[in-house]
Amino acid sequence: MTDRILPIPTPETRHFWEGTRIGELRLQRCIACDNTYFPPRPFCPDCGSRDVSIYAASGRGALHSYIINHIGAPGMKPPFAVAIVELEEGPRMMANIHDCPQTPEALVLDMPLEVSFEKVTDEITLPQFKPAKGA
Amino acid sequence: MTPNSVAIVGAAETTDLGKIPDMGQIQLHADAALNALADCGLTIKDIDGVATAGHSPQELAHYLGIVPSWVDGTSVGGCSYMLHVRHAVAAIEAGMCTTVLITHGESGRSRTGFLSPAMFASQFDAQFERPFGVSIPPTRFTLPVMRMMKDTGLTEEHLAMVAVVQREWAAFHPRASFRDPISVDDVLSSKMIAYPFRKLMCCLVTDGGGALILTSADRAKDFPTKPVYIRGLGESVETPVISQMKDMTSSAAFRVSGKKAFETAGISHADVDHLMIYDAFAHLPIYGLEDLGFVGRGEAGPFIAEGNTRPGGKLPMNTNGGGLSYMHSGMYGMYALQESVRQMRGISPAQVPDAKISFCHGVGGMFGASGSVVMTNEA
């Protein structure tokens, strides 16, 4: 059991959470206008088309912004960074930064990141990020 | 809207402000409402429109004994009251009602009879933000600021100066929670909450309420109070989740709302004598000044640090001390509106001499929503 707050997938987001469970970071792309978007929904938020596809993202991104939480959160020991990661494909998402000191000195904006998968329960694996290898 | 077609004739805060453990939250609404009615010499029977956020408008109406012909329960966070003003002006102009009461009450500190406005409730939040350890606003609202700092040169000292200057304004107000002067060093050595944000860059958590009464401008002249006319209005929403803000250095909701308010008022930035920008955290006046167009990109930090918004400066801003020093119950927008009304009536303890136009700008959620109200004391 975990104290962590966990997502409860909905029909519109289930593909995303099924993806993280098998090590895939899934995004959606509009076939009509080629827009890649996140969070998931079964239509393009740019043009409204329902003709969209699901695909596995590269898993590469960069540190766009962050805070270091000194207050804490259920099941998480402060201080820990909460980041906004800009994916190579364009969309941004929230994540924690693993395998990295949780300090301003180590967390440098625009540093390259790569996805890692944190299995929290049998049902839920969270997409997280860590400094990219070789960067 | 037609500029100056509707006026605020009644305005008041709760009898006490700050720590009010012996009053339940709905009574904070009522206390402010009764004070606002007394302010303009009306009774409950004169009110035919009600609007509120945080509590349901039916609870408010029933509690006060009103069966209104117009209701607005728009609840988009702390700027909801700015949106209520906009909607009330439209309703009065359309003849849907004649006299609107807008109330706020929140037992943010004591949590007496507290009902959560559930402002974070969203599917995207529940699935894509909360699992990563964001919770209360200091861990969310602050997230874009590192990007702002890198892209525009904003510094921690600039953020600290926002708190320092607002404390200078709070010193004028007997009802402000914190009135003693603070220095940049005080701010930068206060407890770390969510790097780079320290405690003195974060708003208070207090108890209180406020209420406004609006009616048509032609009736407004008959009241004992000096009418405060609604000259311009704007509103917008962007996102329920801060990670999906399109541009971390600029609020789309601020830009849309502010532009609309300037356009409807038919004024330029130079016409604004007094400015309120909802400051739940020290970066909000920075984003506000830039997104509303008072200064250019990257200029707001230096603009405040150089003293332009402090007492005696050319653009007096957050003259009640703001959410950082005056009070912040949770949905602070009502108190920004109250200070704009006081300034337009000429009765603020921190009165700006000869102020004729006040621009009052609110934020809701975490850069999620926005509302702007331009007031004037000249019809």
Of the candidates A7, A67, A68, the beta carbon closest to that of B126 is on: A7
Residues recorded for chain A: 135
Q: What is the DSSP letter of B201?
A: G
Residues of chain B in contact with residue A10, where contact means CB-CB under 8 angstroms, are 123, 127
Are B139 and A64 within 8 A, CB to CB?
no
**Token digits for B242?**
């801060």
**Boundaries of every domain in chain A:** 14-131
Distance from C-alpha of B347 to C-alpha of B193, rounded to nearest angstrom: 36
Of B123, B133, B142, the CB nearest to A10: B123
Question: Quick check: B243 and A109 CB within 8 A?
Answer: no
What pLDDT score was predicted for residue B379?
86
Confidence band (pLDDT; 50, 70, 90) for B118? low
Question: Is cis: bond before B196, omega within 30 of 0?
Answer: yes
DSSP B6-53: EEEEEEEE-SS-B--TTS-HHHHHHHHHHHHHHHHT--GGG--EEEES
Percent of chain B with pLDDT over 70: 99
Q: Residues of A with CB below 8 A from B248's CB?
A: 64-65, 84
Exposure b/e, B97-132, CB count within 10 A at least 16 = b:
bbbbbbbbbbbbbbeeebeebebbebbbbbbbbbbb
How many CB atoms within 10 Å of residue A15?
A: 15
Mean pLDDT, rounded, for B134-146? 95
Closest CA in chain B for residue A125:
B131
In chain A, positions 53-72, which contact chain B (CB-CB < 8 Å)? 64-72
* Cis before A11 (ω within 30): no
Q: How many helices (H) and strands (E) does chain A have?
A: 1, 8
CATH architecture of the region B6-114+203-376? 3-Layer(aba) Sandwich (3.40)
Q: Which of B127, B133, B138 sits opposite A76 (nearest CB)?
A: B133
CA distance A80 to A68: 5
Do you find a cis peptide bond into B68, omega within 30 degrees of 0?
no
A11: DSSP letter: T
Q: Is the pLDDT of residue B120 over 90?
A: no
List of E strands, B77-196: 99-107, 192-195
Which residues are paired to B234 by β-bridges?
Answer: B372
Going by pLDDT thresholds of 50, 70 and 90, the confidence category of residue B122 is: confident
Tell me whether residues A70 and B194 touch, CB distance under 8 A. yes
Sign of CA dihedral B67, B116, B238, B149: positive
Q: Which of A10-19, B59-68, B121-130, B294-303 has the lowest mean pLDDT?
A: B121-130
Query: B286, B154 in Cβ contact below 8 A?
Result: yes
With CB atoms and an 8 Å threshold, state whether B132 touches A82.
Answer: yes
What is residue B87's predicted lDDT score, i.e. its pLDDT? 98
Cα-Cα end-to-end distance for chain B: 15
Smallest CA–CA distance from A39 into chain B, residue: B124
Q: Please, what's the largest Cα pairwise distance for chain B?
A: 56
**Dihedral (CA of B120, B121, B124, B130) sign:** positive
Residue B246 to residue B269: CA distance in whole angstroms: 25
User: Which pLDDT score is estimated for B117?
Assistant: 63
Which position has the token pair 């009304």? B341
Q: Does A39 touch chain B (CB under 8 A)?
A: yes
Helix (H, G, I), strand (E, B) or coil at B229: strand
> Which residue is it, tokens 């004994």?
B65
ipTM over 0.90: yes
Convert the pLDDT of each residue in B265-313 to its tens digit.
999 999 999 999 999 999 999 999 999 999 999 999 999 999 999 999 9
The predicted pLDDT at position A135 comes to: 61
Q: How confident is the model at residue B121 (pLDDT cuts 50, 70, 90)?
A: confident
**Under 8 Å between Cβ of B128 and A52:** no
How far apart are the CA of A134 and the nearest CA of chain B, in angstroms? 24
CB spacing of B243 vs A8 below 8 angstroms: no
Residue B37 buriedness (CB in 10 A; 0-12 / 13-18 / 19+):
buried
* Measured CA angle at B144 (ends B201, B239), to 5 deg: 110
Contact A67 B136 (CB under 8 A): no
Buried b (16+ CB within 10 A) or exposed e, A24-56: bbbbbbbeeeebbbbbbeeebeeeeeeebeeee
Average the pLDDT over B136-162 and give the result.
97
**Residue B43: its pLDDT value, please?**
97
The predicted-structure confidence for B316-350, as pLDDT tens digits, reads as follows 999 999 999 999 999 999 999 999 999 999 999 99
Q: Is the Cβ pair A71, B142 closer than 8 Å? A: no
Give the tens place of pLDDT for each residue, A22-77: 999 999 999 999 999 999 999 999 999 999 999 999 999 999 999 999 999 999 99
Domain ranges within chain B, ordered by starting residue: 6-114+203-376
B165-214 tens-digit pLDDT? 999 999 999 999 999 999 999 999 999 999 999 999 999 999 999 999 99
- Residue contact B133–A73, C-beta within 8 A: yes
A77 touches chain B (CB under 8 A): no
- Which residues are registered as beta bridge partners of B71? B50
Report field, pTM of the whole predicted structure over 0.90: yes
Block residue for tokens 């989740």: B241
Q: What is the pLDDT of residue B114?
A: 87
Cβ–Cβ of B150/A7 closer than 8 Å?
no
Cross-chain residue pair B124–A71, CB shorter than 8 Å: no
Q: How far apart are CA B170 and CA B165, in angstroms?
A: 9
Average pLDDT over residues B33-53: 97
- Two structure tokens written together for B365: 């959620």
Chain-centre distance of CA A83, in angstroms? 9
